[in-house]
Chain A
Amino acid sequence: MDKNKFKLVLDLVMALSLLLIMVPNILGQIVHEWVGLIIGAVLLIHLVINWNSIKTLTLNFFHSLSFKIRITYFLNLLIFIGFVSIIISGMYISKSIDFSWLGISRGSGMGWKLLHTSTSYLTFLLVSIHIGMNFRWVLSAVKPIKTNLRLTY
């Protein structure tokens, strides 16, 4: 599997899981929590795969970047902060996974639930914008697969 295809599959899995995780009643509480943690891990892989572009953008942020790229960078930063706060607040309100080994006791914080829900709503919207901004890449990655399928059948 080439890199582009792997990235596409990873992003697709992440997008679908994010959609399902937004409604905890659909998956059930235990699956909701585990899928959340898995999304966190997949997010890390997503960052590692795109590390080169992140590094280049960060190094050139104050030099020669267009307004659009700056906006995109800021959006990505917000998404990252959003995911971090969702995961941390999720750990505090977790019902089935025990995070006491991290020093996180259940229900010890105030308003973690409110933070978790509101941040997830906002991050969900930002992720949709992020996908929309990179949709040209999605289309270009899907194109060879479509051509292959057309040639096969």
Chain B
Amino acid sequence: MIFRRRMMQIVCILCILTAGLYSFNSLDYLSKANPTKIVQAVQSFGQNNGTVLEGGHESASNQPPPSAGTNQGPPADSKREKSSFEALWNLLLFLGVFVSTITVTHLIDQVSRTTRRAVKA
């Protein structure tokens, strides 16, 4: 029983942490989102090779390639590494939100059922 309670506490803490991270990420996304940029990008779509990432940030394909011998921009490998890390991070975040929301909703459902049954009894 004590183990179960401890596990529940850990799950709850994890839920709160992921929810916090998710809201932070969402706020960050919303604050960086630039509707005008998105509209421009959508309108000019098909005319160039540029793609728009979430939040209206332009992707690497829309930026000029770094010229040889100069220090413009990080190397392509590090960019790819960074974007794959970001993708993995986002996936983990979504997984966390998914699992924690399901757990919390299920727990609330269980508690309300038990309370209702107890009241009836």
Check B51 against A95 for contact (C-beta < 8 Å). yes
On chain B, which size bracket covers the interface?
35 or more
- Chain A, residues 18-32, CB within 8 Å of chain B (1/0): the string is 011011011001000
On chain A, which size bracket covers the interface?
20 to 34
- Chain B, residues 19-35, CB within 8 Å of chain A (1/0): the string is 00000001001000101
9 nearest A-B pairs in the assembled complex, by CB-CB distance: A132-B105, A107-B45, A128-B101, A25-B87, A135-B106, A132-B102, A107-B42, A132-B106, A23-B90
Check A129 against B105 for contact (C-beta < 8 Å). yes
A sample of 14 inter-chain contacts (CB < 8 A) reads: A22-B90, A25-B84, A92-B42, A93-B42, A93-B45, A111-B42, A113-B41, A113-B42, A114-B56, A125-B101, A131-B105, A132-B101, A132-B108, A135-B105
- Chain A, residues 128-141, CB within 8 Å of chain B (1/0): the string is 11011101100000
Question: Is A65 close to B, CB under 8 A?
Answer: no
Check A128 against B97 for contact (C-beta < 8 Å). yes
Which of chain B's residues have a CB closer than 8 A to the CB of A95?
A: 51
Given contacts A23-B87, A121-B26, contact A132 B104 (CB under 8 A): yes
Q: Which residue of A is nearest B43, CB measured? A: A107
Which A positions have Cβ atoms within 8 angstroms of B?
Answer: 15, 19-20, 22-23, 25-26, 29, 68, 92-93, 95, 106-107, 109-114, 117, 121, 124-125, 128-129, 131-133, 135-136
Which B positions have Cβ atoms within 8 angstroms of A?
Answer: 26, 29, 33, 35, 38-39, 41-46, 51-52, 54-56, 83-84, 86-88, 90-91, 94-95, 97-98, 101-106, 108-109, 112
**Once the chains are docked, how many angstroms separate the CA of A85 from the CA of B28?**
23
